[in-house]
Structures are given as structure tokens and as C-alpha cells.
Amino acid sequence: MSGNPIIEVDSLSKCYRLGQIGMTSLRDDLERLWNNLRHGTAKKEDARTFWALRDISFCVEKGQVLAVVGRNGAGKSTLLKLLSRITEPTSGRAVLRGRVASLLEVGTGFHHDLTGRENIYLNGATLGMTRREISRKFDEIVAFSGVEKFIDTPVKRYSSGMTVRLGFAVAAHLEPEIFIVDEVLAVGDIEFQRKCVGKMKDVASGGRTVLFVSHNMTSVSNLCSRGIYLRDGRLDLEGSASEIITRYMSDAVSAQSAEVFDQSTNRTGAGNVRFTDAKIELPETVGGVGLQVGDSLQMEFGIEVFGDDVGLLSFSVELGSADGLKIAHLVDRDAGFSVDRPSPGRYRIRLELPDLRLYPDRYTLGLFVGTLNGKVCYDHIPAALSFNVIEGGDVAKRNLPTTTGRIYWIPSWTFVPSV
């Protein structure tokens, strides 16, 4: 690290009172300051407090793109709010040496009664830019966002996708020294997501700094050189992007490669047949963190049949990418498999998909059971499980970035003279 990192975080912590998360008032801050002055420390915590962040320290150099990664509730958004000065820390400090633009959620920094045009100038003024500086960037911002037809329409009439496109375009083009982005790539179509990644690369190559929160490890791999991994409000790992991705995938697989389904499960259907649980068998050869290109996908799930009138059942598995792309629809009858009029009770079903030729990334499996004619859905659980395909193994002959495809096929090639 150099002597003057552009971002310096030292022992940063944030404590909320339960029932008031996200709502610290001036009185709360003054009360905390008074107690620090009297006792040299914050008030003794009690059962009504919740530490969203605890003793976080790291530095970011100018021009770096740093991934901020962790499971839901790990403290990522709290950290970015502290760095963006939206809320104050309970203890510790964060020094940011440069102009900061933040895009933390849809509509951040927008006045929804103003038009898109007015909001562009408002945001630029907030960053300390002159009207002439903003005007030079205006056409580029509007073209990138794709909202040309609606630029003079109040933002409150925009869809969430339009709002986030304009918000990203404004924040990225108004030349902040530090650009803080939280999950913006989860909104919008695939083409816009690619444009965002490309723009953030341009921002970094211009010597500016990006802090990027994402659950999409492909974006992290393509964009970031380093990262931090948060777990339960603490800094669990700081290292290269590949190290952060490996830790994230390991945690994700251990949590979601096996599931038990109950009343809280996101599901639809008549309920005559229900999925009870499901699991993916992961090879120990890679530590149980995922599958390699060319491995077999082995899956098992349980069902419970209620009543005697379910008839001939049809099962299917929906394979998709973590960013919502539908990749394959695996239907039982394609393999000549069927379950005809099962008696009430519990059953197990296994399936195997040999020689899985997916690019390294995170994928989901959805479950469906219904009547053979498709008229009745008994149970449907979208994204019931997730798993990771990781680099390595003997099949892949080259690097496989998901920007170039999803399925790795090796055809036979021949070269013959023309006749």
C-alpha cells in the first residue's frame, strides 16, 4: 500500500438500536458523543443493540476496483452508507480523499418530482461541478441511460429500470474520484449490465476508484482486482478477487446445495404433491465447493403425495444462471421416465446429468411437478437450489468467461481442400 490511499477505513463500527435500524437521529448521535466524552467509550451494549459492522479496517489505492462481497445481512450496504456519509459510524473513522458519487439503491440522489434533465444538473451540482461542466457530459449521460424520450418527464413516472439506468449514467459520467455502487447490476437487462461493467472499467482505467457490491461473481471477476469479504458484520477476508470469489462460493454452496422446504418456501401450486427437500451431491475432490466443467450433476429430491387422485405425474428441473438467464428445461419424459398414480406417502427421486458443460459461474435449479398434460401445477419452487461451477478439471482447455458464452462444447473439426 502507498502512504496515502484514496480510501482509509480504520476500526469502523456501526451499532443500531433494535426497532430503530436505519434511523439514527441527531439526539442519538449527540447522546453517543456525550457518553464517549464521559467514559471514553460507547455506552455498554445491551440486548436492544445490534452491531451491523464491527471493527472494519482496510485501505483502497487510487484506481483500484474493490469488490465488497458477503451474504445478505453481512453489513455490505451499511459499510457503503458509512462511506457515503449517509449515516455516521458508532466508532472508528473513514477517510475518503476525493469527490464521491454513490449509487446505493434505485433512485438514490434523485428528486422524484423533478425531470430527468433537472436531476442530472442537480446531481452534478451536488458533486461540485459547474453547469458548463455538466452540459459537456449531458448528451453522453442521456445516450448511455437510454431514456432520451423521457428526459423531460418527472422521474417519479420512470420504471425502476429507467431510474437505475439514469442514476448509474449520472454517477459514472460526472467524474467522481470515488464511485460507490451497490447492486446496480441486479436491475436492468443483460446488455445494460454489460455496459455498466464496461463503463466501470473505463472509470478505473482513468485513475478513479470504484467500490462495487455484488452477488454476481462473474461481474466481480471481470471487474475487480481485489476485494473484501464480510461475514456477520466483520471483515472475514481481504485479498485478490479470486480469493474472495472462492470464499463466497464456498459459503453459498454450503448453505444452498441442500434445502428442506416448508411453509415459508417461495412456491406455487395446488399442493396435491409437494417437494419436501432437495440436495446436490458435490465431489470431495474440490472440497465440496462446486462442480468443475465436465463433472456430473447428481441431484436428489423428496416428494410427498396427498390423496389418491394425482394421476400421471410430470417432473421437470429448470436450470438457470444467477443473473436470471434460462439455460435448460430438463423434463422427465424426454428420458422415458414417469411416475403413474403413486399412492399417498413420501418418495425419493434421483437424477443425473452427466458431463456438465457449463462455464464457471453460479447456477440455480428450479423444481416443478404437475400433471402430464400440463394443465395442473402441483408444486413449483423457482431457484430451489444453487450450485457453483468452478475452474479446473481436465475438460476445459482454456479460460471460460461468461461474457463469451455459457455452454462449453468441443466439436470435431476437419480441414479438406475444396473440390
Is the separation of the CB atoms in 392 and 399 below 8 Å?
Answer: no
Q: CA-to-CA distance for 255 and 234, rounded, in angstroms?
A: 19
- Sorted by sequence, the CB contacts under 8 Å of residue 265 that are 6+ apart come out as 381
Q: CA-to-CA distance for 142 and 117, rounded, in angstroms?
A: 9
pTM equals 0.57
Is the separation of the CB atoms in 278 and 258 below 8 Å?
Answer: yes
Give residue-wise pLDDT tens across range 117-164: 999 998 888 777 788 988 999 999 999 888 999 999 999 898 877 888
Return the domain boundaries, the chain.
Answer: 7-253, 258-390
Q: CA-to-CA distance for 86 and 103, rounded, in angstroms?
A: 12
Residue 84, pLDDT score: 87
CATH superfamily for domain 7-253: P-loop containing nucleotide triphosphate hydrolases (3.40.50.300)
Q: CA-to-CA distance for 126 and 110, rounded, in angstroms?
A: 11
Q: CA-to-CA distance for 411 and 219, rounded, in angstroms?
A: 28
- Sorted by sequence, the CB contacts under 8 Å of residue 227 that are 6+ apart come out as 66, 67, 68, 69, 220, 238, 239, 240, 241, 243, 244, 245
Q: What are the residue ranges in the chain where pLDDT is below 50? A: 1, 20-23, 42-43, 186, 255
Residue 35, pLDDT score: 62
Which of 222, 279, 229 lies closest to 249 in space, CA to CA? Answer: 229
Residue 283, pLDDT score: 76
Q: CA-to-CA distance for 299 and 276, rounded, in angstroms?
A: 14
Residue 189, pLDDT score: 58
State the DSSP code for 183: S
Is the separation of the CB atoms in 359 and 388 below 8 Å?
Answer: no
Domain 258-390 has CATH 3.40.710.10: no
Q: Is the dihedral of CA 87, 73, 284, 282 positive or negative?
A: negative
In the chain, % helix, strand, coil (3-state, to 5) comes to: 30, 35, 40
Q: CA-to-CA distance for 200 and 188, rounded, in angstroms?
A: 16
Residue 361, pLDDT score: 84
